[in-house]
């Protein structure tokens, strides 16, 4: 199923400026209908929820529809498994606070060097509770023996870390540095089986989907406002999490446990436009068809960019992560320039900035540990050059990026 890229771009007002947005992992552009619904909510139904007067009834229904939109995007069984928040960092911090009573001293929490929003809260929890942090490191990908920066999260590096004391594994579904898609189901299944065989008391998982949600269907903070959504299994809400809400509120099995004070209501309602947008992308009108079309188009963006960078190996270009396109890769591409004619990452990005209408970035992108542990070492403050594309980018934009890289790498 081919995307109608002209239609896609027409619903993102920011794209009409002609600016080339190549930093989409830091926040994609916003669908016009999302903004319209936020404005409509604030102008017409901005009142407290739960009252009997008509405006409050309408407001309550609108916020509830936001939870239903997220439930559909997550394929959750119930809206009672959906919690909204201001950011992934805040939601995971809330989750860590809520699970604190069910973490015993000496139990182990496995984290990765990826997005710090799904690492920092667990480090702080471990310090409070006397738990032990284990690092699941990115390891070399055997299929690229000549590239030391071709690394990824691999199951054979995780399983030896699982023990009878393992309580939680926190990892990413897609790296916001490497662009690699992690096989979540395989990892959860294998880790759960290993923990059970070793006699672990309980093992649960916290999966960061911030860099996954704009590219693949989740089994959604995408193209909407800067809001974050958390899915928590009903069994975990019931058996593992205590409430962060006011003491007099009865929220035993409800996501309000993780939403002290409630989310921004207008942002929740604005998210109702996201499933509608996705369904508009294909004649089939289903989320499944939309995500298939998105994935297909993104490969047309990814293949020429990776091919160009691979072809610059003699110039010192090294892709950080998986070098090939395919189903296990999204169009978030990071690289460094090393060797006799090495270039600092800020210098590469500066050449793009000079064009005035192209946006890419350099840095560690809150995956500080991952970047810091790359070997041979790179300056972690310089980090990597990252070009992050999504489905509203075009093949012509990729060609323009490549043309600028040709100037930089000459």
Q: pLDDT tens-digit profile of 315-325?
A: 999 999 999 99
Nearest to 148 by CA among 323, 13, 283: 323
DSSP H or E stretch at residue 132? strand 132-136
**For the sheet containing 317-319, what is the strand order?**
317-319, 332-337, 384-388, 361-363
Query: How do residues 332-385 score in pLDDT, each as one tens digit?
Result: 999 999 999 999 999 999 999 999 999 999 999 999 999 999 999 999 999 999
Query: How do residues 290-309 score in pLDDT, each as one tens digit?
Result: 999 999 999 999 999 999 99
**3-24: average pLDDT:** 96
Bridge-based pairing state of the strands 166-172 and 361-363 = unpaired
In a domain, 304, yes or no: yes
* Cα–Cα distance for residue pair 21/397, rounded to 1 Å: 9
Question: Is 188 found in the same domain as 337?
Answer: no
In a domain, 343, yes or no: yes
Query: How do residues 137-154 score in pLDDT, each as one tens digit?
Result: 999 999 999 999 999 999
Number of Cα atoms under 13 Å in the Cβ half of residue 299: 14
* Cα–Cα distance for residue pair 408/15, rounded to 1 Å: 25
Total of domains in the chain? 2
The number of angstroms, rounded, from the C-alpha of 255 to the middle of its chain's C-alpha atoms is 21
In a domain, 346, yes or no: yes
CATH of the domain at 19: 3.90.1150.10
In a domain, 40, yes or no: no
Among the candidates 230, 261, 276, a domain finishes at 276
Question: Is 232 found in the same domain as 287?
Answer: no
Question: Is 86 found in the same domain as 214?
Answer: yes
Greater model confidence, 251 or 234:
234
Among the candidates 276, 297, 324, a domain finishes at 276
DSSP string, 224-256: SSS-EEEE--HHHHHHT----S-TT---TTSGG
**161-185: average pLDDT:** 96
CATH of the domain at 174: 3.40.640.10
Among the candidates 250, 276, 302, a domain finishes at 276
* Cα–Cα distance for residue pair 380/338, rounded to 1 Å: 14
Question: Is 342 found in the same domain as 271?
Answer: no
pLDDT at 320 (0 to 100): 98
Query: In percent, how much of the chain has pLDDT > 70?
Result: 97
Query: How do residues 239-273 score in pLDDT, each as one tens digit?
Result: 888 887 777 777 666 777 787 777 888 989 999 99
In a domain, 37, yes or no: no
In a domain, 36, yes or no: no
pLDDT band with cut points at 50, 70 and 90 for residue 220: very low
Question: Is 197 found in the same domain as 296?
Answer: no
pLDDT at 339 (0 to 100): 96
Q: With 70 as the cut, is the pLDDT of residue 104 above it?
A: yes
> CA 275, 276, 281, 284 torsion: positive or negative?
positive
In a domain, 46, yes or no: no
Instruction: Give the DSSP letter of residue 182.
Output: P
Question: Is 248 found in the same domain as 114?
Answer: yes
pLDDT at 226 (0 to 100): 62
Question: Is 288 found in the same domain as 249?
Answer: no
Planar angle of CA 330, 336, 337, nearest 5 degrees: 140
pLDDT band with cut points at 50, 70 and 90 for residue 85: confident
Question: Is 328 found in the same domain as 191?
Answer: no
Question: Is 147 found in the same domain as 263?
Answer: yes
Question: Is 197 found in the same domain as 89?
Answer: yes
Distances (CA, A) of 229 to 92, 117, 148, 236, 247: 10, 13, 35, 16, 23
Query: In percent, how much of the chain has pLDDT > 90?
Result: 80
What's the 3-state SS for 342-397? CECHHHHHHHHHCCCCEECEEECCCCHHHHHCCCCCCCCCCEEEEEECCCCCCHHH
Residue 111 bridge partners (DSSP): 135
In a domain, 57, yes or no: no
pTM of the model: 0.92
Question: Is 226 found in the same domain as 84?
Answer: yes
Q: What residues make up the domain containing 179?
A: 68-276
Q: With 50 as the cut, is the pLDDT of residue 136 above it?
A: yes
Query: How do residues 174-210 score in pLDDT, each as one tens digit?
Result: 999 999 999 999 999 999 999 999 999 999 999 999 9
**262-287: average pLDDT:** 92
**30-34: average pLDDT:** 94
**102-121: average pLDDT:** 96
**Which structure tokens are listed for 27?**
């926040």
Nearest to 259 by CA among 128, 132, 76, 97: 97
Question: Is 308 found in the same domain as 209?
Answer: no
pLDDT at 221 (0 to 100): 44
Nearest to 18 by CA among 332, 349, 358: 358
């Amino acid at each position: 199923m081919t995307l109608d890229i002209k239609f896609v771009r027409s619903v993102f007002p920011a794209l009409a400026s002609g600016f080339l947005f190549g930093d989409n992992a830091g926040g994609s552009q916003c669908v016009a209908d999302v903004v319209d619904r936020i404005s409509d909510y604030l102008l017409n139904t901005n009142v407290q929820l739960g009252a009997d007067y008509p405006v409050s009834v309408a407001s309550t229904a609108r916020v509830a529809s936001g939870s239903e939109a997220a439930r559909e995007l997550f394929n959750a069984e119930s809206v009672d498994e959906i919690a909204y928040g201001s950011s992934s960092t805040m939601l995971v911090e809330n989750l860590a606070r809520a699970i604190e009573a069910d973490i015993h001293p000496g139990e182990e929490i496995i984290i990765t060097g990826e997005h710090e929003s799904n690492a920092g809260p667990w480090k702080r929890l471990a310090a409070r509770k006397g738990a032990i942090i284990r690092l699941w490191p990115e390891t070399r990908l055997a299929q690229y023996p000549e590239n030391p920066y071709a690394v990824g999260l691999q199951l054979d590096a995780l399983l030896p870390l699982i023990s009878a004391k393992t309580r939680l594994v926190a990892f990413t579904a897609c790296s916001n540095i490497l662009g690699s898609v992690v096989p979540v189901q395989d990892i959860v299944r294998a880790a759960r089986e290993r923990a059970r065989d070793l006699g672990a008391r309980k093992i649960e998982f916290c999966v960061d989907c911030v860099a996954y949600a704009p590219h693949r269907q989740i089994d959604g903070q995408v193209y909407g406002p800067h809001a974050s959504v958390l899915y928590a299994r009903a069994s975990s809400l019931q058996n593992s999490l205590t409430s962060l809400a006011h003491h007099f509120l009865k929220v035993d099995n409800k996501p309000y446990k993780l939403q002290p004070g409630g989310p921004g209501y207008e942002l929740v309602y604005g998210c109702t436009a996201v499933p509608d947008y996705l369904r508009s992308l294909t004649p089939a009108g289903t989320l499944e068809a939309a995500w298939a079309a998105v994935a297909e188009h993104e490969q047309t963006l990814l293949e020429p960019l990776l091919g160009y960078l691979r072809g610059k190996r003699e110039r010192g270009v090294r892709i950080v992560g998986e070098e090939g396109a395919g189903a296990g890769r999204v169009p978030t591409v990071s690289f460094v320039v090393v060797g006799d004619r090495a270039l600092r990452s800020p210098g590469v990005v500066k050449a793009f900035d000079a064009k005035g209408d192209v946006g890419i970035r350099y840095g560690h992108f809150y995956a500080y540990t991952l970047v810091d542990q790359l070997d041979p070492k790179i300056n972690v403050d310089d980090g990597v050059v990252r070009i992050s594309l999504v489905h509203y980018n075009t093949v012509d934009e990729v060609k323009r990026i490549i043309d600028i890289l040709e100037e930089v790498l000459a």
